[in-house]
Amino acid sequence: MLLAANQNCYNETKKFLTRNEMQKMVKGTGLFSQVAQTLSHRLQNALWRMVKLRKQGKECGYPRFKNIDRMKSLNYPQAGFKLDKKLKVIPFGEISIKKHREIEGQIKTLTLKRESSGRWFATFCIETEPKIPRINNGEQVGVDLGLTKFAVLSNKEVMKNPRHLKQYENRLVVLQQRLSKKKKGSQNRKRAKHRIALLYEKVSNTRADFLHKTSTRLVNNYSLIALEKLASQEMSKQKFGKQINDAGWNMFANMLSYKAEEAGCKAVFVDPKNTTQECSNCREIVKKELSDRIHDCPFCGLVMDRDLNAAKNILIRATAGLAGSQASGDGDSLPSLKEEAHTIHGWE
């Protein structure tokens, strides 16, 4: 309704509806007032984001009409819900829920989220008193993320890449072939689609479990963790997109960032330029092809695994062990892509 009204308004006046006009349109839809307003704000933000990107000369598609299956969440920013033994939500009434853990602190917002598998989740934003970070006397470590190996640490520890999607790839192929044979709109097609959604959810949960356990172990064991600030979204568009997304580099970096403070650890992100090519001992540039898995420096004679050499370079930059270090503090954004992005080490 809102999207169609904006399209008609733009065709007639070359302008989109204002925020107030959109908020008036969603009145009487049956949703709680703030929830309906939030939906109108989402659409307006999407429209203005599209306008901004197009003015910058970037490709950006027009917001699409969504059927009910593509509606993922409803947000209650202040009121309209109450949590007791059951969750009472306007206008849906009381809903039985299973708590993953007891909630400590004051509930500020609620988001009702539906997964593709049909499962619903209630996500609460809680305001709590800040905890005193514990003292972490662990060592400092650099982490080089890759695809052949998930990560190589500067202390020579190697983490294998679980390749979560590959484990279920054959099963997914079978289910998708069965789906393609079902008649559109039929109950059999809906059931087949649901089976695929359940399997994708299992892959996602398995990946998240691995990343959570790995990131928690790292922040508990080390006082400083250094990583490259990788533009993984841009990298995935160039090459090996499925493998990069399956590895979950961005998820892993985000987990380290928000877990680090409470664990008494510090996560630092550095410029990834030449971390593979530079010698961690003499700082000279040693050019390597993707097939060169060993760093063999002709200047100082250092010989080691190329990923280990990169991890050591990352740690050096993060700890300002080199004059003119390119280290950045927590939360700083370094949008640069690896110079060798089209041949990221560990991709083969």
Give the catalytic positions in this structure: 144, 228, 307
Count Cα neighbours of 52 within 13 Å in the Cβ-side half-sphere: 6
**Among 299, 268, 291, 281, CA closest to 340:** 291
Distance of CA 185 to the CA centre of its chain: 33
Can you read off the two tokens belonging to residue 103?
């909630």
Alpha-carbon span 156 to 148, nearest angstrom: 15
Q: Which amino acid is at 132?
A: I
Residue 105 contacts residue 115 (beta carbons within 8 Å): no
Residue 345 contacts residue 310 (beta carbons within 8 Å): yes
Alpha-carbon span 59 to 53, nearest angstrom: 7
b/e code 27-39 from CB counts within 10 Å (16+ = b): eeeebbebbbbbb
Q: Which amino acid is at 274?
A: N
Q: Which residues pair with 107 in a beta bridge?
A: 126
Q: Tell me which DSSP letter residue 62 carries.
A: P
Strands 149-153, 139-145: pairing is antiparallel
Residues sharing a CB contact under 8 Å with residue 329, sequence separation 6 or more, in sequence order: 268
Type and span of the H or E element at 259: helix 249-260
Residue 223 contacts residue 266 (beta carbons within 8 Å): yes
